[in-house]
Structure 1
Amino acid sequence: MNRRRVREHIFTLLFQKEFAQPDEEQERIDLYFEQHSHIKEEDKKYILHELQGISEHLEPIDQLISSYSKGWKIERMSKVDLAIFRLAIYEMYYRDDIPKSVAINEAIELAKKYSSDEAPGFINGVLGKISSSVEAVAYEE
């Protein structure tokens, strides 16, 4: 499965997480993979690894979103856009093998496919500011 399709699965699981109780998370993930039985084991492992990484870094990721999405509180933000932001920022700052420009472009493509007409521009603007910010460098580890 290509990286874009795998990214869509990660995005979908991040989106679903917004509507589930924390104690239901593993059950939700298991059900997702049952419903998508075509996903190869190596892709499943990658998806789970990425979800774990995003969860581990959720606080600083959300801080970046809050800091750079002027006028938009995370609580009021579209759950689709929030999932896209979380995935993109994780890829930008916690994955050395994914160029920031690729993470941003992929986020825009997800927004075009799954969000509102305004979302691609909004996501591009916020991620562009984050990418070029000196402050954001503090999250690189």
Structure 2
Amino acid sequence: MTTTTRIVLSSDHAAIALRRIIAAHITTLGWEAVDIGPTTAESTPYPERGEEAARLVASGDCRFGIILCGTGQGIMMAANKVTGIRCGVCAEPFSARMIRQHNNANMLSIGARVVGESLALDIVEAFLSAEFEGGRHATRVAMIEALEG
């Protein structure tokens, strides 16, 4: 995994406001936000947004990705199609911490129509403060990676 402090953020049109709030917040935590948009409320296809962010993480240009759409589900599914990406959608901090500790997730997805601003920031902080535990979890992550073919 790269050691860069860059985190890519992207969303569809439903999550622009929350994405910008998260981008500003992570900079206060010492991360560099790479916000790739969109910038207007015009309808934006979440698969394209998820893929673009995932490719920046998979390439090593960004250490993590935070992506958002209405539910967080669709954009997460698109991101997970990119080789090397392990993205989970989370609606509370416990799951966000666990996807890092147990699944070595490198992307987090949030539903802007599911969680409010304060909870979203708690989810992001839980994700970013957690570390992969390795051990028995490394074996399972390797099994997931083997599915990529």
With the length of structure 1 as denominator, give the TM-score of the two structures. 0.31
Which structure shows the higher strand fraction?
2
Which structure shows the higher helix fraction?
1
